[in-house]
Amino acid sequence: MAHADTMPAHKSPTAASLSATFNPYSWVVGGVFAVLALPLVATLGYALATRWGATLTPDGLTLAWFIELWTTPRFLAAFARSLFIAVGALALSLALVLPVALLAHTRYPRLDRWMNTLILMPFAVPPVVSSVGLLQLYAGGPLALVGTPWILIPTYFTIVLPFMYRAIANSLRAVDVQSLMDAAQLLGAGPVKAFFLVVLPNLRGGVQIAVFLSFSFLVGEFVFANMLVGTRFETLQVYLNNMRGASGHFTSALVITLFVFTLILTWLGNRQAEHTITEAAR
Amino acid sequence: MMAATTRPPSSATTPKASQAAYRQQPAIASGATAASASRHTDHASSGNAISLKGLAKRFGDTDVFANIDADIAHGEFITLLGPSGCGKSTLLRAIAGLTSLNAGQILVGDTDITHLPPQRRGVGMVFQHYALFPNMKVADNVAFGLRMQKVPSDERARRVDEVLRLVEMQDQAHKFPHQLSGGQCQRVALARSLVVEPRVLLMDEPLSALDARIRKHLRDQIREIQTSLGLTTLFVTHDQEEAMLMSDRVFLMHQGRILQQDSAEAIYTRPRDENAAGFMGHYCLLDAVEAAPLLGYRSKAGRVALRPEALYLSVAGMPLGGEHPERVGPGVHGVVRRHRLLGNIVRYDIDCAGVSLTVDTLNRSARTLLPQGQQVTVHVDLDEVQELDT
Amino acid sequence: MTLRLPAWLWLLPFAIVFCAFQLAPMAWVAISAFNVNGDWGLGHFQEIAQSAFFRQAIWKSLTISLVSSAMGLIIATVTCHALMRSGPRLRRAMIAFTNMTSNFAGVPLAFAFIILLGANGVLTLALQQLGIIEDVRLYSTGGLIVIYTWFQIPLGILLLFPAFSGLKAEWRDAAHLLGAGRIAYWQRIGLPVLWPALAGTFTVLFANAMGAYATVYALVNTSYNLMTIRIANLVAGDLFLEPNLASALALVLVVLLVLVTLVQQWLLRRSAQHGSR
């Protein structure tokens, strides 16, 4: 009753839940949902099936494919490599982006506009195009990085930069970093100390969102990994591609494992996002 | 059906002149007499501009409003006044056809519009947040309704220009809504609903989103335009000052009912019941026992409502703030708890034998301010005592 | 802190890495595209223009990208409209699910489609048994358009939904009260307001499809002729490597993307000037 005054009929909670069952629009949503779910459901079914031949449903259910996958040393090694590269890239990104974002929101306000243009570049240039340049620039000479994980880490920094910068810039703005720094310095802390003791703890929420989302994005990256490094440092996605000859059930288990892994990461990120929002609302 | 009113063609160039051009009939444009005058100027048919008969609306199990009955005369300015959540905006949306009704009938003139879609009701509406179309310039926003009626473009341009002059926005015709201030947006929105010559204008808290100075200016402008056009208007607000200043009649709403339909003065000075008194002014509500010492008799009504300006103070037998009225109740002793300075008024909270009274006195001089703890005597103007049914 | 460094020094590491791994590769591509055996010239572009093979790659990339972007955009638009009219719980669930599926791309997506619609795919066999179809050719242009459209839909929904929730109910109410029906509302207010978001989303979807590589590569390796496949094959293939030719083709790809973006911008500006009708 409190808000009945301004609420049109279709927004009332009871009306909505009632109409949801008969609403033709819900059928449209359901249809698209089904289409999007189909490949995922089929893959999950295949990963859990003993055999799935010319029938509508699998013959029997088993976890054997997952157990086989999770006991394959090559898979575990690829997993470890992917984690290593993702963690390395994120650490590098944080180390490079945090000072820039901080300065853009304290000392050099014009820098923020520059950065907002710069971070569009990774979107404008497809990874395949960047690879062409990277392969030539770092194939030999003093920086012969191609074929090693060391080329992927800085390259991944460039592709997560947009997420990273936006997330950090948004939380810097949200906590009004200039006032925080001013207050800390008036109380006797130097700028570096003020940053680590006052600003950074307040950025934790925003940074965590960016880290989780970037992490899931990097674990799913294939183009750079395959073109710049390939089998010489086999990551999860490259491993998956190389397993194309293996049993479909086995690769399905791998696909599902990867998907669940990124799902957990995005879920953690979104939970953090909600947490941050509720905290900010207080 | 939209062309219920006729306007003389006009070559008006100034705002005042175009206002004259918009007048349907020689209008008598001043205060409370305007309504009764324009009642006879509009439609030839006798009867009311709008009749609401037994309107009711439910969301699930809760009544948003029920048993709404009202007759509104031609050219009348009606305010639906009430706290948020009282159902006034939903009632307005139901009259516009934007929300369905569970029961009742709406007549505009002699036409039953209860089941008509909003497009065919001939009702104009102004929204709290303007609802200007962001993709159209001011002139195109205003022209939208005429375009829908397939009015030829030269006539359209002329009428848009006229109505923009009326709201003094003719210089902004080529701007987009996002380039305008809130007050300008609302004037465009007003022009947009006026240009199609609606039979009834509905306004849903049109001033609430504006800041105080613009609100006052636009409030007067709306009333002036409404009076000069003789346009039947329903205006929703939760601001009693707005309601007092603008309306011919106020419909006081509370929990989905109309508590009282009366002139502004009557609503203010003679609230019908406790809820009405509670919403209007700063009435002190006392029960009969509490009020007896002040009145000098035991009221037969359950509750007694006293306005702060109907109470008078004296200090050591000397009346404070000028002459006291003829018929006052016996004095009651009290102590000043605190005072608040409201500009020309000083509002005292007085403790009188366990009852807290609010008393307004004219702020004649800083020397007469009473300090906290001052002993006073409180009198009541017996002609202004409201005895309420419970 | 005893050491006081000038503040701008903190920007230096970022600038160095960004230049080395973002700007330098771009610059190298732009420059080496005009490097013909040590001389400057347009030789590589001539070669691309004269080669039926490269022309086919460009043509197929454009076709698949345009068709899948258009279909993705249409489906996403209809879905967003339906979402706005659905209950809040369904809306939240669908947005969360869309978020999930937008992460499902590249190699895993290709494998999922092989399992679903490959020669022995689950759905292929089911449809064959039901006698609805005889054969699904996932590795054809049609098959690729289906996969591309599938991954465009979630992206389209995520990009468009905010614009749809920005459509205020009051605009519709006001339009109806001024005599506009549903069609007039969409024609004169709904679509014009959504238009920048629709155009922008189309551009992003198109760029997304033009640059896509992983899915096709995992699906058919290098046997399907697309621009990205050709570019990669010229720098990382098994036989002859022609990095400068790859740069030229990459530059063509970037120019096509820029062109579409410019057309979009031009259309937006034009509609901002004339769209007020």
Residue B43, pLDDT score: 43
For residue A247, pLDDT over 60 is answered with yes
pLDDT of residue B174: 94
Say if residue A209's pLDDT is above 90. no
Which pairs count as long-range contacts for C249-253, CB under 8 Å and 24+ apart, including other chains?
C249/C44, C249/C48, C249/C54, C249/C57, C250/A128, C250/A129, C250/A132, C250/C29, C250/C33, C251/C29, C251/C30, C251/C33, C252/C45, C252/C48, C252/C58, C252/C227, C253/A126, C253/A128, C253/A129, C253/C61, C253/C210, C253/C211, C253/C227, C253/C228
β-strands B103-108, B50-59: how paired?
antiparallel
Provide the 10 A C-beta neighbour count for residue B11.
8
Dist. CA C149–CA C155, nearest whole Å: 10
Q: Which of C196, C188, C195 is nearest to C172 (CA)?
A: C188
Q: List chains touching B (3+ CB pairs under 8 A).
A: A, C
What per-residue confidence (pLDDT) applies to B169? Answer: 94
pLDDT at C150: 96
pLDDT at C113: 93
Question: How far apart (Å, rounded) are the C-alpha atoms in residues A249 and A257?
Answer: 12
Give the pLDDT of residue B42: 42
Q: Do B127 and C181 touch (CB under 8 A)?
A: no
Mean pLDDT of chain B: 84
User: What percent of chain A shows pLDDT beyond 70?
Assistant: 87
Assembly ipTM? 0.89
C189: chain B residues, CB-CB within 8 Å: 133, 135-136
pLDDT exceeds 60 at position A12: no
Give the residue from B2, B116, B127, B133 with the most C CB atoms within 10 Å of its CB, the best one to mutate. B133
Distance CA C218, CA C214 (A): 6
Residues of chain B with pLDDT under 50: 1-17, 20-21, 23-45
pLDDT digits 0-9 by tens, A79-109? 999 999 999 999 999 999 999 999 998 888 8
**CA pair distance C56, B201, nearest whole angstrom:** 64
- With vertex at residue A91, the alpha carbon angle to CA A88 and CA A96, rounded to the nearest 5 degrees, is 125
pLDDT at B22: 55
Do residues C169 and B96 make contact, with C-beta atoms less than 8 angstroms apart?
Answer: no
Does residue A268 carry a pLDDT above 60?
Answer: yes
User: Residues C77, C158: contact at Cβ < 8 Å?
Assistant: no
Amino acid C45: pLDDT: 95
* Contacting residues for A22 by C-beta, under 8 A, at least 6 apart: none
In chain C, residues 177-216 whose CB comes closer than 8 Å to chain B: 177-181, 184, 188-189, 192-193, 195
For tokens 């990339």, name the residue: C61
| CA nearest to B280, candidates B262, B292, B256, B257 | B262
Q: Which residues of A touch B100 (CB under 8 A)?
A: 9
Would you state the structure tokens that stand for residue A34, as one six-digit string?
């089904």
What confidence score (pLDDT) does residue A20 get? 44
Kindly state the helix (H) or strand (E) to which residue B312 belongs, with its residue range.
Answer: strand B311-315
* Least confident piece of the model among A2-6, C25-29, C39-43: A2-6
Q: d(Cα C270, Cα A185) in Å, to the nearest integer?
A: 51
Reply yes or no on whether the pLDDT at C142 is more than 60: yes
Q: What confidence score (pLDDT) does residue B29 get? A: 36
CA dist B305 and B386 (Å) reads 5
pLDDT at site B218: 94
Residues 6+ apart with CB under 8 A from B168: B15, B187, B221
User: How confident is the model at residue A10, as a pLDDT?
Assistant: 41
Residue C246 pLDDT exceeds 80: yes
pLDDT at A239: 94
The answer to whether the CB atoms of A4 and B87 lie below 8 A apart is: yes
pLDDT score, position A276: 67
pLDDT of residue A121: 86
With contact defined as 3+ CB pairs under 8 Å, the chains touching A are B, C
State the Cα–Cα distance between residues B24 and B45, nearest whole angstrom.
16
Q: B166, B225 in Cβ contact below 8 A?
A: yes
Residue B182 pLDDT: 92
Asked if B116 has any chain C CB less than 8 Å from its own CB, the reply is no
Token pair, residue B166, equals: 């009326």
CA-closest candidate to residue C201, choices C95, C20, C80 = C80
Of A5, A9, A15, the CB nearest to B89: A5
**Res. A54 pLDDT band, cuts 50 70 90:** low
- What gap in Å lies between CA C95 and CA B35, rounded to an integer? 54
